[in-house]
Structure 1
């Protein structure tokens, strides 16, 4: 197994381990330890901070990945240069945040005034998270994605869980719990930097003045455009939560958060694939190997849909089982339909493969401005329209519509400019297979009693039928052949 493959595999394992810890925290520990208002406060503070991250980062993360292959022996001066810019971006965002204090106060004072005392925590989390995002980008450029994923997905959720337990046992107050969340981000940052130092990919080099002026100019221009694209993608992830808090209340946000977080696990394989795909796409475009980009576009589309659809079916088929384990489930299961709507939105995103990454690293990256403007307008307008009418389901529908339009715009642009697309017969066969498997499990288990037994048996049935169907339908035969060879090699 080569280094890139092993890093991707480890990253996927850590991602799902993080999901398991996150599920325990979100579906049991948090509802058991905290009131819905406290859960809503926790999530609103966290989402507000993470929404500021791309602005403070100035879009540098994707710029690092794109320009890294051109730097040769000046990687550390480039790293120091980006850290300097990141701190400058954070100072600018902090100043704007303080200047907007009055509008923020007015937006949340009516329905969610509790979060106003935690606005300083928002900036602390932003600082730690933005520095970590730059460190992640450099690790990704060296194809070292596994340990940063461990710190980002596993360690931080474990530290959150410790904080919740300390609050449950009354060792700390709720105010200290929120500050403890900021501390958790700080600890993960130290972990990432320590790993980089250990792997000898961390060193401060203040000779960044010697970097070519043309490269710095193009890097900053690209990063600014990337900022707009990244912000648009994050808007759909975070703005709905903030708007639910401000327009309905913190308890509604807690219900929405649990449903959204159950659904978001569907795209976890896509995130892991994207982490390793980005430097590859950058390298292919840099070497003018467009045919490899086209092949990657199709191959990853099939792989992502195959895995993510299995996860989606498993989650929605077991949705009553999942909510049965949540303390005070009568409060939180009102968000059950959020799982279906957001899950559908994430499957749409997965189906369009790596279109965002392709645009980002192509010569047409400026188009991200157009796509992001469309995205930002759609998600905010539809939230303002649908939340008053449909409540938390309205926020989910707004996300669904925004992701659909966002992906259609990007897909159309790639098809016109690069003449490539992610569609194949395998994708169609996967969708048909998914429908058959979901129908079969519903027929055989429709009268089953909710609980652990049904969860385990139903999940095993879905997994067996799905993998058997993939073999019979000859879905992605090249991938299957590789898997069988590895299995035979392991057994010999």
Structure 2
């Protein structure tokens, strides 16, 4: 667990730095510089590109991690990596040709309620390709246990460039319309940076041979394409569906709330960058006792840290909305609903990584397809009635059901269980701290209120977790930190 804790801490620091930039962008710069219309269009384009990303990557980012650990020699690994580089083109080329030939038909079907989006539709596959190949090169460095720099490129680079572009709009260098093209260029820059670092970590040796297990590779990649598409679908489909029933500007309100809630998922994103290849290695070596230990530790550590972030958001949400232009208010309920869905992802630890590396991975696909149908139906029913709050309810219900099914699958098939007595302790602490702090605020400026309340909540929550030893690994990290302080 040492390398996990080490790189998780670094990844968490990098990810939160990126999220800090993203918070300034999403909560202040987008809302003040870009306007609701173009903010809504930007959210639509990027969400649609994210949905398209698994198709553009052809599942290679997960396939690379799974099968790289099974290569027996350096020559076999080089041939496998080379094959992974060109494999996504098998889908990218026909998808782009289809999109080009039927552009007007796609535009009519997708955005008939908001025709102002049409000029930007071609950006969706362009950004999708950049996102897809970025994930391929990111997986390239993950299998070499080098995730920190890639995480920096992933979380910080695009957000920093977008911040510059938003200031460009504010200073009159760019129009809101040309901002979208600049944002597309930012994703292209992210791809080039990731590719350069991947080739620095492991210079490719190009081969044109096909791996001996090519049928297994294609079968698994096709599964990842579908299952990964389902996962992204559950996250971003609501932002694509809202413009079908509401003004595209509603996407701006929804995006602000979504961004706030997504901060809860940062610990998971940081830790799982390194846990996934370790899980694949343990599965390949059939070290199930170590895997079970990793499963439990990842679940409780994510729950404790994610619980603190969730409390920080929920307990300060009303003050935070006072800092945002009034026209973007009305998303508090969305923050709570999406926040709970993100927390449900945290408490099952490296559940996804385990499932994707078992012989049973195809069985999960059926459940995913059924859940996509459920989410589409829920959005169609709830958005017309309740607007963006209905979309949030659809997301929460779908993700909780999806996680419950996957958890049951791992318990039933693998005899692995992420929960312990510490899980109940952690949940109890979260509820107690929430009830104790939610119903009051300091009578100061919102920024000062947020700072003071966050410090107080962190101190109380951290102390109670430490005293109850909810996470032994976090206690060890804190003990080492306190020991170093005493020595200085």
**Shared fold per TM-score greater than 0.5:** yes
Alignment equivalent of 2:149, drawn from 134, 147, 150: 147
| Counterpart residue number, 1:206 | 207
Q: Secondary structure at the match of 2:80?
A: helix
CA contact (8 A) 1:68 1:141 kept: yes
Q: For 1:162, which of 158, 161, 164 is the aligned residue?
A: 164
Equivalenced residues, count: 485
Q: Structure 2 matches for 1:229-240, cutoff 5 A?
A: 229-240=227-238
Q: Aligned to 2:438, what secondary structure does the other structure show?
A: helix
TM-score normalized by the length of structure 2: 0.95
State yes or no: 1:77 paired with 2:63: no
Q: 1:88 to 1:75 in 2, by over 3 A?
A: same
Partner residue in 2 for 1:480: 475
Change (3 A) 1:103 1:354: farther
Matching of residues 454-469 of structure 1 within 5 Å: 454-469=449-464
Give the alignment of 1:30-429 within 5 angstroms: 30-71=30-71, 72-73=73-74, 74-98=76-100, 101-199=103-201, 201-209=202-210, 211=211, 213=212, 215-326=213-324, 328=325, 330-429=326-425
Which residue in 1 is equivalent to 2:447?
452
Aligned to 1:437: 433
Contact 2:34/2:176 (<8 A) preserved = no
The 8 Å contact of residues 33 and 169 in structure 2, kept in 1 or not, is answered as yes
Q: Deviations over 1:407-427 (max 9, x none)?
A: 111111111111121111111
Q: Whole-Å Cα distance in 2 between the matches of residues 54 and 87 of structure 1?
A: 12
Distance 1:457 1:489 in 2: 27
Change beyond 3 A, Cα 1:204–1:100: farther
Measure how far apart 1:107 and its partner are.
Answer: 3.6
The two structures, once aligned, show a CA RMSD in angstroms of 1.8
**Equivalent-residue separation in structure 2 for 1:178 and 1:348 (angstroms):** 33
In the TM superposition, residue 174 of structure 1 has moved relative to its aligned partner by 2.5
Q: Secondary structure at the match of 2:87?
A: helix
| Per-residue Cα deviation, 1:142-178 (whole angstroms, up to 9, x for no partner) | 1111111111110100001111111111112233211
Cα deviation 1:389-438 (Å, max 9, x = unaligned): 11100100000010111011111111111112111111111111111212
Deviations 1:298-356 (A, max 9, x none): 11110001001110110011112211222x2x211111211000001111121222222
TM-score normalized by the length of structure 1: 0.94
CA contact (8 A) 1:228 1:368 kept: no
Aligned equivalents of 1:461, 1:490: Cα separation in 2: 21
Structure 1 SS opposite 2:470: coil
| 1:269–1:304 Cα contact (<8 Å) kept | yes
Distance in structure 2 (CA, Å) of the matches to 1:186 and 1:45: 15
Which whole-Å deviations, capped at 9, do the CAs of 1:38-85 have from their partners, x for residues lacking one?
A: 100111111111111101111111111000112231333322211211
Q: How far, CA to CA, are the matches of 1:303 and 1:370 in structure 2?
A: 30
Structure 1 gaps, min length 5: none
- 1:36: how far off? 0.5
Structure 2: state its 5+ residue gaps: none
- Between the aligned partners of 1:479 and 1:320, the Cα distance in structure 2 is 30
